Structure 1
Amino acid sequence: MLALAGLLTIEVALAMVLFVAAFGVFFYLARVVFVHHSMALDSWAAGIVDGWRAAEPGLTGPVRLVTFFAALPFLLPASLSGVLLLRRARHRRESWELLVAMAGGMILNQLLKLYFNRPRPSNALLQTLGLSFPSGHAMLGVTFYGCLAWLLARHLGHARWALPLLLWAGLIGVTRVYLHAHYATDVLAGFAGGAAWLVLCRAGIKLFWKEEQAVFESADNDMESN
């Protein structure tokens, strides 16, 4: 009970606020798309990126490169490498967090896509497979780079890298709209879903770790008393 009470900190309170806000944004976007059937935001965003492409045709090549850094062929080996490196550095809790966050995020994203069953835009500039809502690049990008930002800030003292990493994840989301691989609402929902999942995952790992430590400490005290 003391271990659980220790979770009632400012960090947890802020995490709860972030989770509720992210879930609220996701729910709102789902209503806009699937209840009100509104394409206003998607059309507006598509018009902006089409203007960028018309003004600078050479952007398409770099955009294709940037979008790769949240694709499964990159995220899967990067996540597994990160887990192995963390375990080698004896950061067992963090390695589990990264593994659970990424594996669970991939599964959750696919389940959400199947549930909402929204087709992708028909005018994509690159070959795209699967369904559209929410964007996997946006959701998994926030999960992966959010985990990385926290690890750098927590263990290496590089808090200044947190904002650039999150901005990088945001830029990857913009590339999905630019390439017409997703609608803007798909990307925003992916950001919201990824943030909510990351907060929930971190809270769950922290709770489990507190309980595990409490059990070990209780067992050690019993052994000492005997």
Structure 2
Amino acid sequence: MNRFPSRLLPLAGLLTVEIALGAGLFVVAFAIFFYLSRVVFVQHSMALDNWAAGVVDRWRHAAPGLTAPVRFVTFFASLPFLLPAGIVVPLLLRWAGRPRAAQELVVAMLGGVLLNQLLKWYFGRPRPSNALLQSLGLSFPSGHAMLGMTFYGGLAWVLARYFGRRGWAVPLLLWVGLIGLTRVYLHVHYATDVLAGFAGGAGWLVVCRAGLRLFRKEEGEVLGE
């Protein structure tokens, strides 16, 4: 009879403001992802996608020189960049004496890649036919948007949590938003793909963080910490 309350006490210790905010973010991210999936695959609406494509096309026609810097920006959430960055950054974190931060970033990235591929396979949406940049694979949700949110959002969390650098969160998240915009500009993704990628990445970060926290707490109990 005494074991049940004793099991509840550690869980009650997790009910902090941080967890409450994380739960709220997850609910919002899930709701956005669910809504976008219904718009695209149930209602078959292209209204948002067509409007966004028209906006970026006007930008490109007004300033043709934008295409080169857009291609440069989009590289920073591509596999050739994220793969080495996903190795080098955790190594630097370990060297800085933050092995837990390194573990969090590695787990977030590996899980994000797997989840993104599973979602792409499940929804099976083809890419736009008028892409300005050759890209392989399916379209929904955008891998650049989802993995960009996972990597840069995870890095923002690590800098704030372990180094007290909360001011980096805004520029890193703005950078993610800019990368997502490049995918629409280059017509390699629809706007709904990018928004779903942002939502999926944010939701996964919350789940990953909560899962690691629970695992470490249980591990600490087993080790008697």
Give the TM-score, by structure 1 length: 0.94
SS of 2:90's partner is: helix
Out of 82, 89, 103, which is 2:89 matched to?
A: 82
Alignment of 1:38-49 (within 5 A): 38-49=45-56
Partner of 2:187: 180
Partner of 2:36: 29
Cα shift readout 1:172-225 (whole Å, capped 9, x = no counterpart): 00000000010000000000000000110001011111111222226xxxxxxx
Number of residue pairs aligned between Structure 1 and Structure 2: 218
Partner of 1:7: 14
Cα distance in 2 for partners of 1:144, 1:96 equals 13
Cα distance in 1 for partners of 2:212, 2:218 equals 10
Cα distance in 2 for partners of 1:113, 1:145 equals 21
SS of 2:224's partner is: helix
Matched to 1:151, the amino acid is: V
Q: Which runs of 5+ in 1 are unaligned?
A: 219-226
More displaced 10-residue stretch of structure 1: 83-92 or 102-111? 83-92
Matched to 1:129, the amino acid is: L
Matched to 1:99, the amino acid is: V
Partner of 1:224: none
Alignment of 1:32-71 (within 5 A): 32-71=39-78
Give the TM-score, by structure 2 length: 0.94
Partner of 2:213: 206
2:220 is equivalent to residue 191 of structure 1: no
Partner of 1:16: 23
Out of 139, 145, 151, which is 1:144 matched to?
A: 151
SS of 2:221's partner is: helix
Partner of 1:99: 106
Matched to 1:163, the amino acid is: V
Contact (CA 8 Å) 2:149, 2:176: kept in 1 or not?
yes
Partner of 1:154: 161
- 1:93 to partner: Cα distance: 1.8
CA-atom RMSD in angstroms: 1.0
Percentage identity across paired residues of the two chains = 72
Partner of 1:170: 177
Cα distance in 1 for partners of 2:212, 2:103 equals 8
Matched to 2:43, the amino acid is: H
Matched to 1:126, the amino acid is: L
Matched to 1:44, the amino acid is: W
Q: Which runs of 5+ in 2 are unaligned?
A: 1-6
Cα distance in 1 for partners of 2:105, 2:172 equals 16
2:133 is equivalent to residue 126 of structure 1: yes
SS of 2:157's partner is: helix
Cα distance in 1 for partners of 2:25, 2:35 equals 15
- 1:163 to partner: Cα distance: 0.4
SS of 1:69's partner is: helix
Cα distance in 1 for partners of 2:222, 2:114 equals 31
- 1:5 to partner: Cα distance: 2.2
Cα distance in 2 for partners of 1:142, 1:5 equals 30
